[in-house]
Structure 1
Amino acid sequence: MKVIRSKSLKQVLQYAKPYQKRFNWVIAWAIFLSVFAAVRPYVFQEIIDNYLLKAGNINGFTFFVLIMATILIAEVVAQFYFTYWSNWLGQDIIRDIRNRLFKHITSFKMKYFDNEPVGKLVTRSVSDIESIASIFSQGLFMIVSDLLKMLIVLVFMFFVNWKISLIVVAIMPIIIVATNIFQKKMKVAFNEVRNEVSNLNTFVQERLTGMKIVQLFNREAIELEKFKTINQKHNKAWLKNILYNSIFFPIADIISNITLGLVVYFGALFIIQGDTETTIGHLISFNMYISMLYNPLRQIADKFNVMQMGIVAAERVFDILETESQIQNKGTIEAKNFKGDLLFQDVRFSYVKDEEVLKGINLKVNAGETIAIVGSTGAGKSTIINLLNRFYEIDSGEITIDGRNINEYTLESLRKQIAVVLQDVFLFADTIYNNITLYNPEITEEMVINAAKEIGIHEFIMSLPNGYQYNVKERGVMLSSGQRQLIAFLRAYISNPHILIMDEATSSIDTYSEEMLQRATETITKGRTSIVIAHRLATIMNASKIIVMDKGQIVEEGKHTDLILKENGYYKKLYDSQFSLVID
């Protein structure tokens, strides 16, 4: 575990390299701060011994007072720059790590998101990365500063009075041992805290996303009890943390006070016995030195814990950064102006190893052709479009577009040529215009309006408050499912794809919206290769070819008029079951 954490700290420090100059200045200010702090008691001692307890000259007294004032001002300046620059450095580093993490996550295969809870990824991207910032703002540099201060204070103590210094040093092993025990206990406690925070975030994220299901099935009380259980575990983890702090800090205070008492006792004894090397000024300055020596020592334990929490968080973040779950993007060919010839040759695929979803699919789609894929739930229809967009990698076989393996195209250019309209439309909490363009600078407002008019939904958009600038809120909750489908269709249309895929795009919309989409479909599919996946057979009767799938295999293909004539055929059974319900 220690090796891993040492590795994690080194990985974090790698991100400080672009800010090496600022990093060096932080260390420099830490040194200045330590020196100024250690010099202050010495100057105070000189004032007491030479000017307050003796009849010294007023000029010398004034001079040392000015020195003391200068040191205090310098200490304040050093403290300001040290604190500001260390926090500044930490924030810049976590900004860079967060950017890299987000970029890395967005390149993951869909399979990664199938297995990882969203709440966990949110925790890693937000709260864990904030914890990494504490390595610099409250941990590493503070510890370095405190250690430097302790070292310089020890040097000054022995320089001032080595006898009294030995008393202080003799007690130090006790607090060092106590600090080490405390630190080890806190490592375990912080690990528990981070685990429970992740569990808490995951639970809340999922329940907020699925709030409609929670309320529809009257799950409020049940989910509350589950939340209470998780929250109680989180509470217990923090209470353990608090318990260790409550034990350690009073012990550290007692040891510090005992040390101070021994210094005063033996120092006074030395003075009474006529030891000329020990003075009243020494006792007063050592009171300040002990505070400077023991306070950082007891605080170092706390700062080690803060840094430990940051390092634990860094482990979690780097664990994701080191996860290799990206779709291989080794293609060198820019996909431009596809004709749209598609070919699946003996394609096999499984989401879970040894559980094939597609079992040797062979499918040819000619450029400009509109085909429909039908079949029961789980037949593998949507999997085909997932593979065509390279959201997943096939197990074996080959998929080609215009005669080239899709792996030969760059991933970005491939996906630009393919537009998909899904049944479950996702809209961001943004304006309709931004949800359509997705901030593509090449798409102008005029293009959006013209496209909306062409597919017949401009009037619908203009009927909303603020028209194209209407904010649909999170997941598009301000729109009906049919309206969201229309926006998604326009989003696909405006991208001017050469291959269009509609995955159950009309299954959850009203008759009026379906009529608009049928009109839009006729416009957008002209001259484009189109794949329509549907349960409602009425929407695909005019397709150039209908592919019927069952249990991961193509069992029938042909035109509607041909398939409907096959006795006991898969398509005929689907058709009869749907239209018999309508007749009934």
Structure 2
Amino acid sequence: MSKHKKPQGGHPGHGPGGGMMVMGQKPKNFKGTLGRLLTYLKPRRNQLIAVFIAAILSTVFTIVGPKIMGDAITLLFEGAYAKFQGVSGAAIDFPEIGRILLFLAGLYVFSSLFTYVQQYIMSSVAQKTVYDLREDVNEKLERLPLKYFDGRTNGEILSRVTNDIDTIGSTLQQSLTQFITSIVTIVGIIIMMLTISPLLTLITVITLPISLFVIGPILKRSQKHFSDQQRTLGELNGHIEEMYTGHQVVKAFGYEKKAGAKFDAVNEELYEAGSKAQFVSGIIMPLMFFIGNLSYVVISVVGGILVTQRAITIGDIQAFITYSKQFTQPLTQTANIANIVQATVAAAERVFELLDEEEEVKEVTTATLTNAKGEVDFEHVDFGYGDDLLITDMNLHVSPGQTVAIVGPTGAGKTTMINLLMRFYEVNNGKIKIDGIDTREISRSELRKSFGMVLQDTWLFNGTIKENLAYGKEGATDEEIFEAARIAHADHFIRTLPDGYDTVLNEEASNISQGQKQLLTIARAVLANPPMMILDEATSSVDTRTEIFIQQAMNRLLEGRTSFVIAHRLSTIRDADLILVMNQGKVIEQGSHEELLEKKGFYADLYNSQFSEQQVAG
């Protein structure tokens, strides 16, 4: 039902502003992560082969172009030179040049067509691959234990699910096709250059190892900065998300300056990481251009000498110069893609870190829980969030239909007990049984369907009031929804809203009061009609008159059901069948209200102190 409370006792890793303190990054496994990312492309190997073939055809048609253009230039030059020399009957063969140019235009049309096919297929491959990755991440999040979410900010998790996966998708869709085209272009250009002049080809190819030697160390340095950039981006997203969703608390406690200061600090760290990453990687392009231009100068000089010696034609040298310029372009693109791959691998590592997180204890379902009676037993239960145990040797028997109130000071373990009952956390030792069945033998989903929850922290989603109430029961009819709202005393206020049950709640449900939100969560629990109920001070956010109505509705709801009520105001649980008094993770007293008062122990002191406070307030 409603969103569970975070466990008491706290977790390391959270600062006063709620933002996660990111620990030092482990060394990154570039090859391992890249290899793992490529496994997501294996199911689409046939489509990738088609992309590769389309890239070859598109590139071949483009590469042949300069050579054919060189033939046209040679015809033009030879004809013009012969006329200049006064050769009898000399003329420029314009019809042949026209046929060459027409053929060249056709090649470029076919090249464009295959480029479109390549991009179209690759777009499908990229989107389907990212779809699979999102599916894996979503399924993983469903299998992660509650402690994973308690130890991280929402924004940091969302950054991995959205920003990092989007980075991977963009790279697959854009950069992978460029990489394939660049490789094919490099190979094709080398072949064409060899057909023109092996000597000039050797001069051009020498630039390749020089380029790799120069940019290799730069790529290694940029990887660390890109990793820092992705990490700080996740931290910044987490901080913004927390400050936005908790803006009322921020303003109430005057935390604006501190929140702004933390934002500035993280933003500055992101700026530094991003600047260093872009600066280091940005050096690659100028270096590639410098090396390419040196090669271009040498080729022009040597080519000119060869033309004067009639070793090659003027058209061939023009074509070769074009090839030499094109040769550096795919190299530059490849170097640029290498930068993008650095950022992509850094993003993929963060996603894979999530996928590698320890999951909930694997279920071994050997029993089913249908029509639960509600008999609950805690047998020698030990539990702790870390090395220190919060609950030790807890023993408890709850008969079907009993209302059990759990009281105690903050941090006593009240909410922890509920978390264990719902299997949000697994016990360290001992057993929790329902109707004599160990809860570890029941599937988590089946176990949780047997409980209804109304917590102090309300959870409502963006949608109509009717949709929020229907969340409690699949296929609920309108009449069932209206009846549940009447029982929870929510029907009257709902009908006074402009659109009644069709009123749309915004993302934070801030367009209705806190008390009204609580009424809706209670109505949702009524509609679910589970065999067992968990209430965490469900009436704490409503006025006294409404509280009386809700208490009456709750009494009707709890009839014949086993219920666990976490109580802060002890006056609300005097009629409970069993009251458990907890302190420091142990049940130190248990009994009815009258029995516990007669003992004059911890509960009596707690009750009398609250009664005295109410008298003073009155």
Query: Do Structure 1 and Structure 2 share a fold, with TM-score over 0.5?
Result: yes
Q: Give the structure 2 partner of residue 281 of structure 1.
A: 315
Q: Give the structure 2 partner of residue 552 of structure 1.
A: 585
Distance 1:182 1:42 in 2: 36
Q: 1:191 to 1:572 in 2, by over 3 A?
A: same
Q: Give the structure 2 partner of residue 337 of structure 1.
A: 371
SS across alignment from 1:335 = coil
> What is the aligned length?
580
Which of 253, 264, 267 matches 1:217?
253
Q: Give the structure 1 partner of residue 602 of structure 2.
A: 570
| 1:92-491 matches, cutoff 5 A | 92-272=128-308, 274-275=309-310, 277-353=311-387, 355-438=388-471, 441-491=474-524
Distance 1:51 1:441 in 2: 80
Q: 1:559 to 1:245 in 2, by over 3 A?
A: closer
SS across alignment from 2:560 = coil
Distance 2:574 2:286 in 1: 81
SS across alignment from 1:146 = helix
1:154 deviates by 0.1
2:75 pairs with 1:50: yes
Distance 2:306 2:252 in 1: 82
Distance 1:254 1:442 in 2: 69
Distance 1:226 1:495 in 2: 43
SS across alignment from 1:549 = strand
1:289 deviates by 0.6
SS across alignment from 1:15 = helix
| 1:470-526 Cα distance to aligned partner (Å, 9 max, x none) | 222223222222112111111222112111010121223211331221122122112
1:103 deviates by 2.0
Distance 2:42 2:498 in 1: 50
| 1:17-56 matches, cutoff 5 A | 17-51=42-76, 53-54=78-79, 55=91
Q: Is the Cα contact below 8 Å between 1:164 and 1:263 reproduced in 2? A: yes
SS across alignment from 1:475 = coil
Distance 1:464 1:445 in 2: 17
Q: 1:440 to 1:175 in 2, by over 3 A?
A: farther
Match of 1:558, as an amino acid? G
| 1:436-455 Cα distance to aligned partner (Å, 9 max, x none) | 23386422333211221233
Q: 1:62 to 1:117 in 2, by over 3 A?
A: same
Distance 1:49 1:171 in 2: 28
| 1:88-121 Cα distance to aligned partner (Å, 9 max, x none) | 3212211221122122113211111122222221
1:3 deviates by 8.6
Gaps of 5+ in 1: none
| 1:363-384 Cα distance to aligned partner (Å, 9 max, x none) | 1111111121111111111111
| 1:498-517 matches, cutoff 5 A | 498-517=531-550
1:252 deviates by 2.0
Deviates more, 1:504-513 or 1:241-250: 241-250
Q: 1:2 to 1:166 in 2, by over 3 A?
A: farther
Q: Is the Cα contact below 8 Å between 1:331 and 1:411 reproduced in 2? A: no
1:2 deviates by 9.7
SS across alignment from 1:564 = helix
Match of 2:371, as an amino acid? N
1:32 deviates by 1.5
Deviates more, 1:218-227 or 1:359-368: 218-227
Distance 1:336 1:419 in 2: 15
Deviates more, 1:479-488 or 1:528-537: 479-488
SS across alignment from 1:16 = helix
Distance 1:208 1:93 in 2: 33
Match of 2:360, as an amino acid? Q
1:410 deviates by 1.2
Instruction: Give the CA RMSD over aligned residues.
Output: 2.0
Distance 2:36 2:479 in 1: 48
Distance 1:324 1:221 in 2: 37
Match of 2:74, as an amino acid? D
Match of 2:73, as an amino acid? I
Which of 526, 530, 543 matches 1:497?
530
Q: Is the Cα contact below 8 Å between 2:281 and 2:339 reproduced in 1? A: no
Distance 1:196 1:80 in 2: 37
SS across alignment from 2:406 = strand
Match of 2:582, as an amino acid? M
Distance 1:470 1:432 in 2: 6
1:56 deviates by 6.1
Q: 1:439 to 1:28 in 2, by over 3 A?
A: farther
Deviates more, 1:472-481 or 1:315-324: 472-481
1:242 deviates by 3.0
Distance 1:407 1:56 in 2: 91
Q: Is the Cα contact below 8 Å between 2:178 and 2:333 reproduced in 1? A: no
Q: 1:332 to 1:462 in 2, by over 3 A?
A: farther
Identity %: 32
1:127 deviates by 0.4
Gaps of 5+ in 2: 1-25, 80-90
1:58 deviates by 4.6
1:172 deviates by 3.2
Give TM-score, length-normalised by structure 2.
0.90
Q: 1:7 to 1:439 in 2, by over 3 A?
A: farther
| 1:239-271 Cα distance to aligned partner (Å, 9 max, x none) | 223323443322322222222222221111122
Q: Give the structure 1 partner of residue 14 of structure 2.
A: none
Match of 1:472, as an amino acid? L
Query: Following TM superposition, where does structure 1 have runs of at least 4 consecutive aligned residues deviating by more than 4 angstroms?
Result: 55-59
Distance 1:7 1:176 in 2: 22
SS across alignment from 2:283 = helix
